Structure 1
């Protein structure tokens, strides 16, 4: 007689098998009780981070190639890390190496951000970002990945989970945009065209103010973090690009997903800073109710920038979640 899991493996597509397995709560709870992964990484500065970024020329999205800057380290199942606004992939600088001990970690700068293409040649909406991510993974021969996504990166992950469910094996959504919870007032203001004329110091002041507001732990507002996030947005092209990014934010790209959240089959961890005043904890609670295979992990004494506020808890919770999903199928 075939076991339940062998029948399931032969009958259902992978993403449905994972969702069915996710319902085995006792096994999941055991996996989450595993001892935490030691966190011994030293903060990485922007120079070290940039030294291992790669670039590729991505065609097939618009009528000319797009430059994508990205980190690709480690081996094993691929994890795709997607940042939000106004950051870039450096947001994950304190967790990448810990995750890469167990997985292949791919962390691109989305177009318009960081050191990816910043020209005025393309749409920067999260729908367009989803198109680029889909094509980017195709270029890397990655047909399925775990998505670790923050802020608008979470909106991109949700779009792709709905559009191309086989591409998205599971999701860790941290303080993600959803429903009509965004764009926040600060980003609406930043998107005004007049801000394209800001000086580098004025842009730096705006960004540092947002870091102070979006971190619960003052000691985590490190010089490495401030310098790392701010540097791509110091020259004229970077300043203009960040303003364009803010102007592109459109709640109409997440509200159509609201009625379909209940159809998403991916195991999902909602890794949420409870102090966030931009993407509040109530958004996570609503997602946990609306998504059938979502679990909520509140991060106490953390605000919006959770990978920076508490990188140890962020990395450990992510690894334990991924281990629990792998153990079930």
Structure 2
């Protein structure tokens, strides 16, 4: 766990907030005032991924960025499970405790299934959907087929499945502090100029000890063993969500979540949604293209005003 006041040489200057409503110390950023933008990270990242977006939006939005249990500045309890349904439950409790409404979800990686799980449970609280290389469909046969097809060729998922079969997944991921850079490379980012001592410290510090890696291990193992439960809303709720303003921004060099498998599902769920393909941008699109993404998000927010 990262020390609560750590700013990584001023690159993450946001005041820390802590909630215990979910039964552990959950850290979150809460910057600015205005319509709520809720940013959800994935594996093996934390709120640092959204640092540029927070700065761009906080002048006229309330930007909330939680670290999932086991990631970033949040606690990593030893007696909890780290499956998708656990993260959805934790997020739901935070959202209800803060009484967040008219939420714009901004999701990356497994933040997609977590955020869509929240939307399925509380569609009345969700106003807009933004996917940044994040799967957004619900637990349906089409999603299962896409995940299976993606895993057949995605290096990250191939490694997870092979390591679990060989009994080495825990051995490798509990040492994530030492090989975080190779893990990020395997998932895919293109801007190698980002790699500085400060940047590397920001990504490796959450996993300083094996006990700190339960979140990263849980997400990988849950996929390999089928422990994750994707939320499935009623037909009426799904129809309600599908009418929301939605935008997908996809780094097309993403080899972890490949566009060919997931963008058709976005188009099906959100037939009127916007879609922006970013050539040469990898899986960690907020790292590779913060300026482009910031501009696209701003234009989308401005073009879809909320009736508050």
Aligned length: 280
CA RMSD of aligned residues (A): 2.9
* Match status 1:119 vs 2:77: yes
The equivalent position to 1:101 in structure 2, one of 49, 54, 59, is 59
Pairwise mapping of residues 65-214 of structure 1 onto structure 2 (< 5 A)? 65-177=23-135, 178=137, 179-180=143-144, 181-182=146-147, 184-188=157-161, 194-197=168-171, 202-213=175-186, 214=188
Pick closer, same or farther for the CA change 1:148–1:272 going to 2, 3 Å: same
Q: Which moved more, 1:289-298 or 1:99-108?
A: 289-298
Q: Give yes or no for contact 2:76–2:211 (8 Å, CA) kept in 1.
A: yes
SS in 1 for 2:72: coil
Q: Quote the offset at 1:261 in angstroms.
A: 5.6
Q: Give yes or no for contact 1:146–1:170 (8 Å, CA) kept in 2.
A: yes
Q: Quote the offset at 1:270 in angstroms.
A: 0.5
Cross-structure match for 1:274? 252
Q: Give yes or no for contact 1:190–1:247 (8 Å, CA) kept in 2.
A: no
Q: Distance in 1 between matches of 2:181 and 2:89?
A: 30
The equivalent position to 2:266 in structure 1, one of 287, 307, 310, is 287
Cross-structure match for 1:238? 212
Pairwise mapping of residues 243-254 of structure 1 onto structure 2 (< 5 A)? 243-249=217-223, 250=226, 253-254=229-230
Q: Distance in 2 between matches of 1:242 and 1:50?
A: 25
SS in 2 for 1:101: coil
The equivalent position to 1:315 in structure 2, one of 283, 294, 299, is 294
Which runs of no fewer than 5 residues in structure 1 stay unpaired? 1-43, 60-64
TM-score (norm 1): 0.75
Q: Distance in 1 between matches of 2:287 and 2:220?
A: 22
Cross-structure match for 1:14? none
Q: Give yes or no for contact 1:80–1:106 (8 Å, CA) kept in 2.
A: yes
Cross-structure match for 2:192? 218
Q: Distance in 2 between matches of 1:130 and 1:239?
A: 19
Which runs of no fewer than 5 residues in structure 2 stay unpaired? 1-5, 138-142, 152-156
Larger Rg: 1
Q: Which moved more, 1:182-191 or 1:122-131?
A: 182-191
